[in-house]
Every structure is written in C-alpha cells, then in structure tokens.
Amino acid sequence: MQFEFRFETTRPADAPIAGRGFVPLCQEGRGSTRQSEAGKRDWLQVGARRIPLQTVRHRRARRYVLRLNRDGAARVTIPRSGSIAEAKRFATRNISWLEKQLLRQASHPPGAKPWRLGTEILFRGENVRIEVGVAPNIIRFGSESARVSELAGDFRPAIERHLWRVASRELATRVTELATTHGFVVNRVTIRNQRSRWGSCSRKATISLNWRLIQAPPFVCDYIILHELAHLKEMNHSRRFWREVARLCPGFADAERWLKKKSELLA
C-alpha cells in the first residue's frame, strides 16, 4: 500500500476507507498506482458542485480509499480485486464527507506562506525563528545559516534548499547507522522532494526519504527510516511487517502521533 501522508491530498483522520485503518508508508517497485481508465473523466455531484472523480487502481491496496485532491477532484484507490463500478458507489456513499472536505478546503486555501524575518519554522522538531545573521545577506535559524539575495524578501526557497542539503547529509548517514545496528544491507540512499510520501523502500534495497524529515524530531526520523528498513524483510504491511516495526522501533506509535498532529507544519 502506498505511503499516504500526502501533501497535495491530505487525508484527514476521518477519511472514508473501506476496511481496516489507514497505513502510512510504502514500498516502491511492484504495486505502483496507475489511473484505471486513462483519458476518461467521471464526475460526481457533491451538493451544488460537480467535481471530477478519478479512479486509481493499486495492486497492493486491500480496500477502497477516498481522498480529495487540492484541485478539488475526488480520488478513489481501487484494490486489486475491486472494480471501477464499486469505486463509484463507494464515492457516492461518502458524498457527505466530500462536502465537508470541500468546505474545509475553501476555508483553508492552498499555498505556501512566505518565510520572512521573525517567522518561526520547524527544524529537528523545534520551533526556530528566522533572524538576521552576522554577515551581509545572511539569515540564521537555529544552528543553521543561509545566504539570501536580500533581507526583505521571502526566504522560503533559500531555506528549503539549505534544509535539503542538511537532510542529504544527515539522513543518509542515519540510514547507514541504523541499518548497521540492525543488520540490514542498504544499497543506496536518496533524499528526494517527494510530494506524497515520507519515505519508500525498493526491492533493490534503495531507501528514499523526504528531505522535509529534517524538520521533524530525531525519533520521528528514526521511525520512518526503521519503517523502511523493515520493508527489506516484509515488502507489505502485513501483521508480520508491523511486528518487525515494533521490534525495531518499540515507540513507533508516538512517532505516528507526532506526524498526524504536526505533518502539515513541515515546509
């Protein structure tokens, strides 16, 4: 099942899902998502609005899952044994949920807020304030500093680039440390600008992580890394997989709770 902590399609805690609760992480390779009928667009009447309905088949999905994209389109993930017809019925049964999400979306329009002097951002789980540095065109935030073109603009692009570099250095090192400690062999580590997941693990033993994790506390980063390492033994989200996660990271529930509460604050 795909990693479903989505930035562009955030799934609230009450999102409709047919069956057992939501599972947060994924593995790459087999089981990737694809649109079930390319080029075909369906529509769904939600109150006074008519919104696009997208159906996406996922080979590893076990149940139907409904989400609302930031562009206002509804999306239903279809399990391997499911059908498009049942996906449409599932969406129709949850019209009231979609209507609530559309209202919530309208009251919280998307768009990254600018980061300026005085703005507080998350870094390693702590709120740090963006301040003027000691040298010209240098800003400070926590233990880090970055060069900007001017001190009156939006610092988000410069800070995000800097955080990505920090993540590339620190998260990759941490993967190696945890893999060695727990006896895993990782062939490659990549730090990416993923928009739909915190991390993934491929069958070729490649661990990919979202650079935004550098904003989270160390125990959350460790959980995501250990979750992906567990996929090297179990490329699924079975009970055996979760037992392996619990063995590697006994406090993983605390990390999941932190992500549920704070994930929207990451970049």
- 74 beta partners: 53, 68
Cα 211–chain centre separation: 11
Asked whether the beta carbons of 15 and 65 are under 8 A apart, the reply is yes
CA distance 121 to 7: 17
User: For 104, what's the count of Cα atoms within 13 Å in the CB-facing half-sphere?
Assistant: 14
Q: What is the pLDDT of residue 103?
A: 77
Non-local CB neighbours of 207 within 8 Å, separated by 6+ positions: 175, 186, 188, 189, 190, 199, 200, 201, 225, 228, 229
Non-local CB neighbours of 206 within 8 Å, separated by 6+ positions: 28, 186, 187, 188, 189, 190
Cα 148–chain centre separation: 28
Which residue intervals of the chain bear CATH 3.30.2010.10?
A: 113-267
Tokens of 103: 């209202």
For residues 226-237, average pLDDT: 94
pLDDT grade for 34, boundaries at 50, 70 and 90: very low
Q: What is the pLDDT of residue 40?
A: 53
- Write the pLDDT tens digit of every residue in 111-148: 678 999 999 999 999 999 999 998 888 999 999 999 88
Tokens of 117: 């002097």
- Write the pLDDT tens digit of every residue in 242-252: 999 999 999 99
CA distance 91 to 93: 5
Residue bearing the bigger pLDDT, 84 or 112: 84
Asked whether the beta carbons of 124 and 220 are under 8 A apart, the reply is no
Residue bearing the bigger pLDDT, 178 or 238: 178
CATH of domain 113-267: 3.30.2010.10
CA distance 258 to 267: 15
Length of the chain: 267
pLDDT grade for 39, boundaries at 50, 70 and 90: very low
> Strand 206-210 to strand 188-192: parallel, antiparallel, or no bridges (unpaired)?
parallel
Q: What is the largest CA-CA distance in the chain?
A: 62
Asked whether the beta carbons of 24 and 259 are under 8 A apart, the reply is yes
End-to-end Cα distance, the chain: 25
Burial status of residue 118 (CB atoms within 10 A of its CB: 0-12, 13-18, 19 or more): exposed
Q: What percent of the chain has pLDDT over 90?
A: 54
- Write the pLDDT tens digit of every residue in 59-68: 888 889 999 8
Q: What percent of the chain has pLDDT over 70?
A: 82
CA distance 154 to 115: 5
CA distance 214 to 81: 38
Asked whether the beta carbons of 138 and 145 are under 8 A apart, the reply is yes
Average pLDDT, the chain: 82
